[in-house]
Every structure is written in C-alpha cells, then in structure tokens.
Structure 1
Amino acid sequence: MSSSKFITTFLFSLTITLLLQTSFGADPLFHFCSSSENFTANSPYESNLKTLTNSLIYKTPSTGFGLASVGQYQKAYGLALCRGDVSASDCKTCVSEAPKEILNRCPYNKGAIIWYDYCMFKYLDTDFFGKIDDTNKFYMWNLKNVDDPSTFNYKTKELLSQLAEETYGNNKYYASGELKLEKSETLYGLTQCTRDLSSNDCKKCLDDAINELPSCCDGKEGGRVVSGSCNFRYEIYPFVNQ
C-alpha cells in the first residue's frame, strides 16, 4: 500500500470513528480495490469470480471461514471470514452482502477486500493463501480519551496479548475476553486470524498488530487494527455476542 493510501486510511478512519457499529448493518467499515489490472466483462476471470463468490457464500456460514480457488485459466482466489461470535445466519447475511458491495465499489478490479463488523471478504487473481497480508490495513479508534492513558494502554496490551495467545492456540483462531479496570470499569477485547495462516504466522500477525497500539489508539477508549489476515478490537463496553 502506498504512503498516500496509508494517510488516506488514517483520515478516513478518523471520520468514521463515531460510527463504530454494535450490530450488523449494511455499511462496510472499509475497503480496498487492488491496483492490479482489471478484468473485462464476460471474461473467464469474471466467470471464475462469480463461481468463487457463490462457493464462499455457501461454504463460510457453517464454520465462519471459507477458502476457495476457481478456474484453470485466469484463476480467482478468495476467502471469507466471519467474526468468531457471529451466528451462522448473521454470517451468511454478511458474506452474501459483501461481494455485491465490493463488486459495486471495485468494478472489474481483479482483486479487492471489504470489511464489515461481522465479516471480511477478499479475492485476488494470484494465490495469497497462507501468507500474512499486512498491505491491506486500517485503524479505527474512539475519539474519547481515558483519564490515565499510561495505565489504560498497559492494561489494553495485557488483555490483547493474552487473547492473542488464546487465538493462535485454538482451531478457530479467535478469542474474546474482558479485564476488570478501576472504578468498576471493564475492558473488552477480541483477536482473530484468518485460518489459512499457520499458528506461527497468526501469532506474528497479531503481535505486530498489537505493537501498533501506540500509533493507532494511544489513550483511546476503544480501537481496532484490522488487516487482511488478522485483527483486534477493544472497547470499554461489551460488543461481542454471548
């Protein structure tokens, strides 16, 4: 991702911070269109991408993760990931909406990625499976500051690091939890990786993301670092489904 795109990411994230969603909605959090060449209408790639999309919509809801590649010529690769606490029906709704929205926003791009609160959908014309994607990345943060940034930052990293260990240590590559703070407050968090990664790469992806806390969310009541391979989120209010 170019430096100009990275700056745009920060600015855009700042403008939508107040829209941090607590339930599934039609509006995506963010998206990127790839800078690779475009495909043409009625081409083999378009046909393969359509088949790929249908396959992921079908495969993903049962486990919350889908991975597929379609075609011999002009092959399309894709994956879909639903947040670990999301029901199969909500996962299907999100994964069904995502490709329609990203194809509308990135018409004829051979690669694109889109994130919602409940899911992520990604496709590309080259094999990206099993590789850490730290190119497609964005930050979101709450505009409100905490009273004691130093202590809060320490506690936030403590919780997320603990959740990261749980994440790459289980088959679902997802963990959520909470940590009691002072004044009867509670910090809530989640961490997640795409399941095409090895356990070591999931660990690396999350560790690198958590190390970006000072750049992303220093002293903020809530925040996220989200990439194409892993993500974390924390808030001072509950946001996962029980």
Structure 2
Amino acid sequence: MYSSYSLIKLLVCFYILCIQVLIRSVSSLNLTNAYLHHKCLASQGKYKQGSAYEENLNHVIDHISTYHFRDGFKHTSHGDAPNSVNIVFQCRGDSYGSKCGSCYATAVAGFRKRCQRYKGGIIWYDQCFLKVSTINTPPTKMDYENTFPMHNPNNVNGDTQLFDQNMKDFLYELALKADKPKADGSGLLYYATGEKVLGKNKVYAMVQCTLDIFHCKVCLKWCIKELSKCCEGKQGARVLGTSCNVRYELYPFTRT
C-alpha cells in the first residue's frame, strides 16, 4: 500500500513522463521554421536609403505587421510607379494566427538581411514565404519562374517507380481536394493534407496555393510534374514557389 508521499512522488513522475512524451511527439512532427531558400530580384534594381521606395516599403511592412493573419495570407500594394511596392505573404495552412505573425517577422528580417537594398526579393521558410516586388502580378498569371525543388538524400526501399507513381496519384487526389469550396462558402480551400500507406511506406503530404490565384489545381499539377523530374524515389521532397507548393515525407510534418 502506497504512503501519501509515495503516491505524490508517483504522480509527479507520471506527470513528467507525460510531458516528455508530448515534447517527443511535437518534435517528431518536425514543426520547425527553418530557412529554406531566397532569391533577390536583381532585375528590379536597388533603392537608396531615404528614397520614396524605402518609405513605401517600410509602410507596407509595418501595415502587414498589424494584420491578425487569421487566414495566413496577405497581398497588398502601396505607392505609385516607379516607387510602388507589392508584397505577397503566405503561411503554411497549419500555421495561421500568432505562429503566422511570428513567421512574418522572421521573413521580413531575413529579406532585409539577405537582399539588402534590393527592391524585390523572395524568401522561403518552412512555414511561410514572403515576396517583395515592384510588380503586382495579376491572379490569372502563375509564377512558374520563381520555384525550386528540395529532397531528402535517401531513397525509399523497394520499387521506386511504383512508389513515385503512387505518390503522384496521391498528390493529385490532394490537389482535387484543395480545389474544392470551403464549408462556409467563403472561397476555395487551396490547402489539403493527408496520409496514406503506399506499399511498405506510410507517407504524409501537403499541397497549398496562394489565396489570390484563379487556377490552383493547374498550378499544383505543374508542381507535381516538377517533383517527378527532380526527386524520383526520394523519401521526402517538395517544390516551392510563390503561387503554389507541394510536399511529401515519410513522417508527419504538419499540425493537421
């Protein structure tokens, strides 16, 4: 029979064990916000300190920082040509709200550091991307130029060709899901995640489009084709852009 002291000690140990399990489970999701890549848009030139462009840039950046990021997306412009500033910012579909605001601050700091005085640039992190430009791209035009692939260096075990085909089919399924209307009728989902057993592997995948483009499914299908060009048989891979992106891994990496 336990004494009261022993019982308290047992409960404390159990509580600590639960916390450790929770920390491990969160860590296993790889919920990081690592820097992934950046591209300074050199063709758009540089601005001078104290210029009208810098004033407009600071205005837009400060304006967006007051946004609550409930839907994880912001596309806004300020100023007149040739000093107009256009910003597109989007968080991953499971990183809205305060997490999105934190990623915005990180992205702004990263852009200022890596593309000093450039009028335009793009920076990607694990949970968001930021694009600054002098050009306001219309929603009918997909940005297929500013994209890049990443992949795990390790290959899957077994029939890699079959895995690639099954993975492509799975991503197409998610692309169709992302292109469906929201339950409240406020627009299209433009984001979908899922998990599926493919042979001996359980895979986790995500697709997402920026909320202001017209043809999400078309953009995602393009990314899926690009994925098959760069990353055959890999345990994990992604193609990121400023209009849409796709990703799969052999471990869970999103919160939902």
- TM-score category (smaller protein): 0.7 to 0.9
Correspondence for 1:85: 94
Residue 29 (structure 1) aligned to one of 27, 36, 39: 36
Q: Does 1:196 align with 2:212?
A: yes
Q: Does 1:209 align with 2:216?
A: no
Amino acid paired to 2:56: N
CA distance in 2, matches of 1:60, 1:37: 31
Residue 51 (structure 1) aligned to one of 49, 59, 68: 59
Cα pair 1:69 1:78 within 8 Å, conserved: yes
CA distance in 2, matches of 1:50, 1:202: 31
Instruction: Return the index of the structure with the highest Cα Rg.
Output: 2
Q: What secondary structure is seen at the aligned counterpart in 1 of 2:69?
A: helix
Q: What secondary structure is seen at the aligned counterpart in 1 of 2:235?
A: coil
Identity of aligned residues (%): 37
Size of the aligned set, in residue pairs, is 218
CA distance in 2, matches of 1:59, 1:205: 27
Correspondence for 2:143: 133
> With structure 1 as the length reference, what TM-score do the two structures score?
0.86
CA distance in 2, matches of 1:166, 1:55: 33
Unaligned stretches of 5+ in structure 1? 1-20
Amino acid paired to 2:251: Y
Spell out the pairing of 1:1-242 with structure 2 (5 A cutoff).
22-25=30-33, 27-35=34-42, 36-59=44-67, 61-73=69-81, 74-130=83-139, 131-146=141-156, 147-170=158-181, 171-183=188-200, 185-198=201-214, 201-242=215-256
Correspondence for 2:5: none
Cα pair 2:172 2:221 within 8 Å, conserved: yes
CA distance in 2, matches of 1:97, 1:220: 29
Shift of 1:177: 0.6
Unaligned stretches of 5+ in structure 2? 1-28, 182-187
Shift of 1:93: 0.5
CA distance in 2, matches of 1:57, 1:216: 36
Amino acid paired to 2:37: F
Shift of 1:232: 0.3
CA distance in 2, matches of 1:117, 1:23: 8
Shift of 1:60: 5.8
Cα pair 2:31 2:254 within 8 Å, conserved: no
> With structure 2 as the length reference, what TM-score do the two structures score?
0.81
Cα pair 1:56 1:79 within 8 Å, conserved: no
Q: What secondary structure is seen at the aligned counterpart in 2 of 1:211?
A: helix
Q: What secondary structure is seen at the aligned counterpart in 1 of 2:251?
A: coil
CA distance in 2, matches of 1:207, 1:101: 30
CA distance in 2, matches of 1:238, 1:61: 24
Amino acid paired to 2:77: S
CA distance in 2, matches of 1:122, 1:211: 24
Q: What secondary structure is seen at the aligned counterpart in 2 of 1:186?
A: strand
CA distance in 2, matches of 1:54, 1:120: 17
Structure 1 stretches (4+) deviating beyond 4 angstroms?
A: none
CA distance in 1, matches of 2:92, 2:144: 19
